Structure 1
Amino acid sequence: MGTLAGAALVGGTPAGAAPGWTAVAPGVTYRQYDVTAAAGVTHVHLLSADLTDAHVRLGLLSPGAVAARDTVSHMAGRQKAVAGVNGDFFNISEAQHPGVAPTGASVGPAIADGRILKGAVPDAQRFGPALPPGTHTTAVLGVGADGRAHLDDLSLTGSVVIAGRRTPLGGLNQYALPENSVGAYTRVWGSASRVRATCGSDTERAAPCSADTYEVTVRHGRVVSASARPGSGPVAFGTTVLVGREAGAQRLRALAEGARVSVRYALTSGRGVAYRFALGGYPVLSGGQPLPGLDTRASAVRTAVGLAHGGRTVYLVALDGARSYRTGMTIAEVAHLLAGLGATEGFSLDGGGSSTLVARPPGAASVTVRNHPSDGSERPVANGIGVFTR
């Protein structure tokens, strides 16, 4: 572990533009500084959002569909955020499945403005570094109806009811479905192909695509069409597309055109919180202590979130990817960095070329990229965390 020299210089919530901080908007401040970690010096970009300010809120930055990507600066500009960072890991490549295009969809659950967008893919189907022991793709960072930020788990619960018989719903707008399951796709999925949902397995992301699939289109509660292979294209308003694999495909094959079908779903919070906003990643800090088993070897450019003061203060962190600062930090070092800021809970987001932090300069009408992304320019990503003022 390095000295994390710069971390000791930051602590607590700055009042306005405290020394070393720049005011982005009332209740939102920004600073940058160097940290000496095990692999060398890295440059930290840090946003602080005060959720006790009634004018400050966090929300999901979205490209407009679950299966789509966009840059953080463009999403923030379109949604009028004053600052933000990139979000969840996502389906970025499909080299193991020839002919199958990556969807760009995120790994974990997502909620925007209180609306459920998607569930989490199976653990083995995720992209990104290995999860810390005991954590799952259902892990989220969210802001509840109480106005506080929380770390939580959101599990999909739902069913498909056919002629009074209930089948568990295995997925919602996900790029990967559990084996033998049925998943639902709504208009928020976008136009990407749904074939990827039937590829991989519950134990291996690179496993072959299923040879036993079936898709049914339900409009206003009745089956209107079916296909042996998952399709693509936009899902119309009032329409749900059901995709089945293996045993799930067999259940869908029994449906005749005109059959009545109802689909119900929810994301169940492990903490019993109703969320206005949530997105996936994985926890690294709990009760002010790094989680056991965090990696101490691989240094990389990172994006992370720290929660302080009972979730009333949120720190958004992105490391610099410029050549002189590309040594990065290990996940264990990120957890210590967040603790040094005064955070009691910490959450890791997508890193590497995805790491991006944007904020409005004083007096400006739009955000600019504050860190230097590793790819030399912004990478389009699945979603992000936006900081909004009103």
Structure 2
Amino acid sequence: MAGRHKRRRAGRSVLAFLTAFGALAGAGLAGAAPADAAVAKRARVAPGVTYEEFDIDAAKGVAHAHVLRVDLGNPQVRVDLLYPGAVASRAQVSRMADAQGAVAGVNGDFFNISEAQHPGVEVTGASVGPAIAAGRTLKAAVPKGQRFGPALPSGTTTEDVLAVDTDGRARLDRLALDGSVGTADAQLPLGGLNQYALPVGSVGAFTSEWGSASRVRATCGTDTDRAAPCSTDTYEVTVRDGAVVSAADTPGSGPIAAGTTVLVGRETGAQQLRKFATGEEVHIEHRLVSAAGGAAYRLALGGYPVLSGGSPLPGLDDTTSAVRTAVGIADGGRRLLLLALDGAAAYRTGLTIAEVAGTMRELGSDDAFSLDGGGSSTLVARKAGASAVSVRNHPSGGAERAVANGIGVFSGT
């Protein structure tokens, strides 16, 4: 589109932020709803899915937004988790969307992206929060102190999720791990499921969903300090078909077969696992428990809430601007708004989190959820007549980044 990278005049911007943060009791800077005349581009992607792009006149300059409007009330439309087929893996959003047959999508949760503090420890690429794909639980949340990404708003946790239930209704929720490891002599609480970081003193379970990455990272850091040294007191037990088949003093790597669970313990958890004997029967249970109660989810992924019941969360950062990705929920959970900002040089100042909350509200969201941003921010959608998606925004790193997961939009399937 001609002149796309040039800053447009304020009179043509879609969202003119007019009201101060404090005047809205913690809300982000708010403005007028988008006018059709100011939308730079609008196109139908598929039944129930439309794509728009427009400018936002923000505190630190013009940001350029790319938005997917998704009608979950349309029987042809559904959303699900995009992921590379393993928790401890990464792929570009466009590749995941095409592999799974999605017509559009955005990047998802924050993830284990570096290990500068732990030389020699493999970077897993695994996401921070809980994840559910096609109704199947993939993982639980890491401890809050082990999170990669910006500081969480007050009152939020790594267990916060954007979720869509099996009836196609979206909501914000929290998913906590409820699990145990039982033998004839002991019943141990399960502290983790396919996580790149386990709570100090706990036992975590790794299944075939994890992938082949090393499990050492799960024993590094503490509940409050991601950079703390790796534990020197670890133990690993492999359980196949309900019985212990092997053990090791250090966590291993490689694919985990179906019907097999690898238990990794650190500190007190390691000491408990050392009591397990080869051939001993072990019963392992785990599930994610919804704080909202009673929901069966098709999709869930982590991030953090920024808007609840039409009101921005109190204390949202109104200083740090960046390229962002977010998802909004409207119409009682029957409509999703997926937003990714453009990372081209002309727009790279982006939005503050307070501005993201205000933007999602003005677009019609009652609730909104921030996803990974910066170089991860990616929005893809099929163009007319195409069988593959195209990246619609400009990733700020100059190329599409491989990420842990995303939200895929499916239509007509």
TM-score computed with the length of structure 2 as normaliser: 0.91
Alignment correspondent of 1:10: 34
Deviation at residue 166 of structure 1 after TM alignment: 1.2
Secondary structure in 1 matching 2:333: coil
Q: Could you tell me whether the CA contact under 8 Å between 1:4 and 1:35 is conserved in 2?
A: no
Match of 1:175 among 192, 196, 209: 196
Q: Which structure 2 residues correspond to residues 32-71 of structure 1 after superposition, within 5 A?
A: 32-71=53-92
**1:326-341 alignment, distance < 5 Å:** 326-341=348-363
Which of residues 374, 382, 388 is equivalent to 2:404? Answer: 382
The aligned residue for residue 123 of structure 1 is: 144
Q: Give the secondary-structure state (helix, strand or coil) at the position aligned to 1:333.
A: helix
Residue 178 (structure 2) pairs with residue 154 (structure 1): no
Amino acid at match of 1:373: P
- 1:103 pairs with one of 92, 104, 124: 124
Contact 1:11 1:342 in 2 (8 A): no
Q: Which string of whole-angstrom CA distances, capped at 9 and with x for unpartnered residues, describes residues 212-264 of structure 1? A: 00000000011111000000000011100000000000000001110111110
- Aligned-pair distance for 1:145? 2.2
| Distance in 2 separating the partners of 1:222 and 1:61 | 33
Instruction: Give distance in 1, aligned partners of 2:63 and 2:226.
Output: 32
AA paired with 1:83? A
Give me the whole-angstrom Cα distance separating, in 2, the residues matched to 1:332 and 1:223: 51
Q: Summarize the alignment of residues 299-338 of structure 1 with structure 2, pairs less than 5 Å apart.
A: 299-338=321-360
User: Where has structure 1 moved over 4 Å in runs of 4 or more?
Assistant: 2-5
Residue 96 of structure 2 aligns to a residue in which SS?
helix
Q: 2:19 — aligned with what?
A: none
Note the 1:350-361 alignment, pairs <5 A: 350-361=372-383
Is 1:84–1:359's contact at 8 Å kept on the other side of the alignment?
yes
Consecutive unaligned residues in structure 1, runs of 5 or more: 13-17
Q: Alignment identity in percent? A: 66
Q: Is the 8 A contact 1:3 1:37 kept in 2?
A: no
Shift of the alpha carbon at 1:85?
Answer: 0.2
Give distance in 1, aligned partners of 2:221 and 2:12: 40
Partner-residue secondary structure (3-state), 1:187: coil
Q: Shift of residue 293 of structure 1?
A: 1.0
Q: Aligned pair in 2 of structure 1 residues 382, 287: CA closer, same or farther (>3 Å)?
A: same
Q: CA deviation at 1:165?
A: 2.3
Q: Distance in 1 between matches of 2:196 and 2:282?
A: 23
Residue type of the alignment partner of 1:96? Q
**Partner secondary structure for residue 127 of structure 2:** coil
Name the structure 1 match of 2:5. Answer: none
Question: Could you tell me how far apart the structure 1 residues matched to 2:185 and 2:174 are?
Answer: 30
Residue 89 of structure 1 pairs with residue 97 of structure 2:
no
Q: Map of 1:237-256 to 2, 5 A cutoff?
A: 237-256=258-277
3-state SS of paired residue (1:203): coil
The residue that corresponds to 2:94 in the other structure is 73
Q: Distance in 2 between matches of 1:316 and 1:222?
A: 45
1:146 is displaced (CA, Å) by: 2.7
Partner amino acid for 1:316?
L
Displacement of 1:21 in angstroms is: 2.2
**Structure 1 residues 262, 52: closer, same or farther in 2, change over 3 A?**
same
Contact 2:40–2:52 (Cα < 8 Å) also in 1: no
- Does the Cα contact within 8 Å between 2:81 and 2:133 map onto a contact in 1? yes
Amino acid corresponding to residue 108 of structure 1 in structure 2? G
* SS of equivalent residue, structure 1 residue 258: coil
Paired AA for residue 346 in structure 2: S
The match for 1:283 among 284, 289, 305 is 305
**Change beyond 3 A, Cα 1:19–1:377:** closer
Query: Could you list the per-position Cα deviations for residues 163-216 of structure 1 after superposition, in whole angstroms to 9, with x for gaps in the alignment?
Result: 152100000000000000000000010000000000000111101100100000
Contact in 1 for aligned 2:40/2:53 (Cα 8 Å):
no
Equivalent residue, structure 1, for 2:392:
370
Q: Which amino acid aligns with 1:170?
A: G
Specify the alignment match of 2:253 in structure 1: 232
Residue aligning to 1:349: 371
1:361-383 deviation per Cα after TM superposition (whole angstroms, max 9, x unaligned) = 01111100000001111000000
CA distance in 1, matches of 2:123, 2:316: 29
Cα displacement (A) at 1:139: 0.3
Q: Classify the secondary structure of the residue corresponding to 1:204.
A: coil
Partners of 2:142 and 2:11 lie apart in 1 by 37
8 Å contact from structure 2 (residues 89, 125) kept in 1: yes
Deviation at 1:37, TM superposition (A): 0.5
Give the count of matched residue pairs. Answer: 384
Q: Residue 149 of structure 1: CA displacement?
A: 0.4
CA apart distance, 1:291: 0.3
Unaligned runs of 5+ in 2: 1-9, 16-31
How far, CA to CA, are the matches of 2:136 and 2:252 in structure 1?
25
Distance 1:4 1:267, change over 3 A: farther
Instruction: Kindly report the root-mean-square deviation, in angstroms, between the aligned alpha carbons of the 2 structures.
Output: 1.6
Cα displacement (A) at 1:302: 0.2
Counterpart CA distance in 1 for 2:275 and 2:367 is 48
Q: Contact conserved, 2:51 with 2:66, CA < 8 A, in 1?
A: yes
Among 202, 214, 231, the alignment partner of 1:193 is 214
